[in-house]
Amino acid sequence: MVAKALILAAMGYAALATPVLEDRATCAALYVCVYSNEWYSQCLAGTATPTTTKATTTTSKAGTTTSKSSVVNGSPMGFASGVIGGGNAAPVYPSTVAQLKSYLTSSSPQVIVISGPFNFAGTEGTSTFKAYNAYSCTPANGGQMLLNTLGGCGSQTLSDVIIDTAAYQGIAVKFDKTFVGINKATLNGKGLRLVGVSNIIIQNIAITNLNPKYVWGGDAIVLSDTSKVWIAHVTTSSLGRQHYSFGQAANKLITISNSFINGVTSYSATCDKHSYWGLELVGSGDQITFYKNYVYYKSGRSPALSGNTLFHAVNSVWSSNSGHAIEGGTTVGGLFEGCVFTSVPTVVVSGYAGQWFSSESAYVSQCASYLGRSCQTNIYSSSGSFSYHNTGFMSAFSGLSIVAAASASSIQNTVPTSAGNTL
């Protein structure tokens, strides 16, 4: 019972755990102006060749019709199609962590561009928590401790540990934000928290170093009660807990694309340098497009599909998993197509109660009734079986924007090298 309580606590089930600035210069195409001080601004490479796709327009929270900013590379696809973030607000270029937090938490639409590293580590002091050595390895020999944040440690012997406060909880991003990185922009020691907001674009940043020794030490990106969010070309690594944590309130019209979930860690709950914590999807009515992402060096929860989630994985690659990829409980369903599984010994845990469609060649034509096209088959190399053809959940795709799918063979080499903050 204690072991079960610890697992449930780490999953986030508390109830069950107990039986800034302005653009100062005009730059040439493909460059953005990065402000340094009142005397100096620099044109740096930041945007890609403009697409020929017609600009998407929509109505923001403030009620004005706008289009997405030219600093954004490409356009949102899948369920998040049409998201514009901060729209055509004048870009701002914060140079300090205080300025960045001010822009992200402002009540006005913002287009925010950051360059290089932003070091949050130590900026909010430290906090002391009770923790328990829940796993067979401790942080001293490559494991993690479990913070007793939900009382899930029960009657176990607890120790005081000191964590970095900034990493423990992310910046509370407000409505109507575009957040773009250039020049390997990195949030060191701080994640992002999207709760009760909509119309957000996050692109080309890395998030790392969130108290990796401690479960509950920090999530890279948290979403709960959100809608219209596009997360693209984001790299997440060295975390205390989830790369993406979807809370129990519904998250509608979400796309995660071209992102790198890097599971290599010095502190592993499975004691093998593979991160167990990946994507926790427990929302009520979540709609998630998972497109061209690279999920690497995990040992579980990639994703954990629970709650009431519609999950559409397209042209994504799972590689070098030491345990299992998919777990969870009841859910709307998951459709995996045009994906690649390489060295994933167990693709889905046995006894999973949800519905899956794994796009086997004999059944791909059944997708046409729901997606308007046939599905693409998956590729498996040195991996376990993944054979499901449930279609009972696929009516949930009605009315949603469906991303096009390429063949798995055409993306298996390009996705691992292009995913993450590579723009």
DSSP string, 273-287: SBB---EEE--EEEE
Within 10 angstroms of residue 56's Cβ, the number of other Cβ atoms is 14
Find the radius of gyration of the CA atoms of the chain: 21
What's the DSSP call for residue 156? Answer: S
Residue numbers annotated as active site: 301
Place of tokens 């009841």: 330
Q: How far apart are CA 167 and CA 163, in angstroms?
A: 8
Which positions ≥6 away from 52 have C-beta within 8 Å? none
**Tokens describing residue 383:** 């991996």
Which positions ≥6 away from 51 have C-beta within 8 Å? 74, 75
Q: How far apart are CA 286 and CA 117, in angstroms?
A: 32
pLDDT recorded at residue 154: 85
Q: Which domains does the chain have, with CATH numbers?
A: 132-418 (2.160.20.10)
Contact 261, 298 (CB under 8 A): yes
Contact 45, 73 (CB under 8 A): no
Whats the size of the chain, residue-wise?
423
Within 10 angstroms of residue 216's Cβ, the number of other Cβ atoms is 25
pLDDT means per 10 residues, the chain with 423 residues, are 41 34 36 38 40 34 66 98 97 98 98 98 98 95 95 90 98 98 98 98 98 98 98 98 96 98 98 97 94 98 92 98 90 93 96 90 98 98 96 96 98 98 98
**Tokens describing residue 417:** 């090298």
Q: How far apart are CA 419 and CA 232, in angstroms?
A: 9
First-to-last C-alpha distance (Å) of the chain? 47
Residue in 323, 319, 320, 273 with CA at minimum distance from that of residue 301 = 323
Contact 120, 188 (CB under 8 A): yes
Residue in 380, 260, 270, 267 with CA at minimum distance from that of residue 323 = 270
- Beta bridge pairs of residue 65: 59
What number of helices (H) and strands (E) belong to the chain?
6, 33
pLDDT recorded at residue 66: 67
Contact 51, 140 (CB under 8 A): no
Phi, psi at 402, each rounded to 5° = -110, 125
Contact 218, 169 (CB under 8 A): yes
Beta-sheet strands, E only, within 244-316: 244-246, 252-257, 260-262, 279-281, 284-291, 294-296, 304-305, 308-314
Phi, psi at 16, each rounded to 5° = -95, -10
Residue in 84, 43, 77, 44 with CA at minimum distance from that of residue 61 = 84
Contact 320, 356 (CB under 8 A): no
pLDDT recorded at residue 353: 81
Q: How far apart are CA 198 and CA 250, in angstroms?
A: 12
Strands 235-239 and 206-210 turn out to be parallel
pTM: 0.86
